[in-house]
Structure 1
């Protein structure tokens, strides 16, 4: 398998992302289920990932649902608690690839504001050769355009890229474009794929 560069998703690949777990802990599972059933928080988050202002978008949604105002505002005020902790083995793989001189990119659905918050909390965000962030590009996975932008900006042929993501639809779009892909279900499987591709040794991939 000939690969010139590795492309990482971030959420649920390099850092955990679990709003449900946060709300279960803070307001309890029953209230969380009621909140998520009544308010489309994922639609709100998609707007942020497309480039909408982080605080303004969350607070506007909170104002539309006054009886959930405090809980919805937590999406902004406590966001880092939802996006933590980092996944240590995945971060080690990122750094091992860089130590080998392999170009490493991020291709991620992330807001402008949330990416800034996460970058301050996780130093490895600065270690990508380049991060392709949906909020800055105003286009999201699995829309073809965001993959096309990465190809154009890096100058790399699709079949020279290997990409991991935790969502099948995002992986499927990359595969349809000719990228090599791995559906992320845990860091060990990704490590095994990188070893099989000849990008890391087994020792480097631990």
Structure 2
């Protein structure tokens, strides 16, 4: 193993908390089940950079039968960005240690442009990554093969020399089908054990 390709959310950054999800539900003023069905069904084009933030929320509003509203769009965008902004500092520290050991680090994240820009403006540790495969900029998202293939080309290494780390088994399985090593993330401690095994 010469490189580690990391997922962002659920690995380095935390997924949405119940509290942040409740804020989104209250802001939308919609039935929670209907809201989340609309939120996720329209997310792929947003993650791939095919629509802007306002375009994404307009599509969500259409699902919910809500008239487009600029103020509500701005409030939901702000709440959505906050909901994805909590970092696991232990994982950031681990990135630093891996970089100091000479491992090449890559990032492959399903992330919309609004959130990518927020992270770049506030998280200097992103500079640790030699390659950043952000779905909104590479035009493909996990588990689409093209997303992994883009990262492998940019890393310039054979797939078998890259360990892909993600909290979703379906994303890790997709990477393995392309020849990458894979680890389903559950904790920083278990990842350290897996990294030690891969390096021996």
Q: RMSD of aligned C-alpha atoms?
A: 2.4
**Kept in 2: contact 1:107–1:131 (CA 8 A):** yes
Structure 1 residues 26 and 40: CA distance shift in structure 2, 3 A: closer
- How much does 1:62 deviate? 5.5
1:42 alignment counterpart: 40
Deviation of residue 53 (structure 1)?
4.0
CA contact (8 A) 1:171 1:181 kept: yes
How many equivalent pairs are there?
194
Distance 1:27 1:40, change over 3 A: closer
Q: CA deviation at 1:35?
A: 3.2
Q: Point out 4+ residue stretches in structure 1 off by more than 3 angstroms.
A: 25-28, 67-75
Decide whether aligned partners of structure 1 residues 75 and 95 sit closer, same or farther in structure 2, where only a CA change above 3 A counts.
farther
User: Shift of the alpha carbon at 1:183?
Assistant: 0.3
Map Cα deviations across residues 6-36 of structure 1 (whole Å, 9 max, x no partner): 11000111111216541325656xx77x234
TM-score (norm 2): 0.85
Q: Which residue pairs with 2:112 in the alignment? A: 111
Question: Hey, what's the Cα distance between the residues in 1 that align with 2:170 and 2:155?
Answer: 23
What is the TM-score normalised by the length of structure 1?
A: 0.83
The gaps in structure 1 that reach 5 residues or longer are 200-206
Q: Deviations over 1:51-100 (max 9, x none)?
A: 03442223423653327967665441223321131011111111111111
1 CA distance for matches of 2:24 and 2:174? 36
CA distance in 1, matches of 2:196, 2:3: 14
Q: Measure how far apart 1:150 and its partner are.
A: 1.5
List alignment gaps of at least 5 residues for structure 2.
none
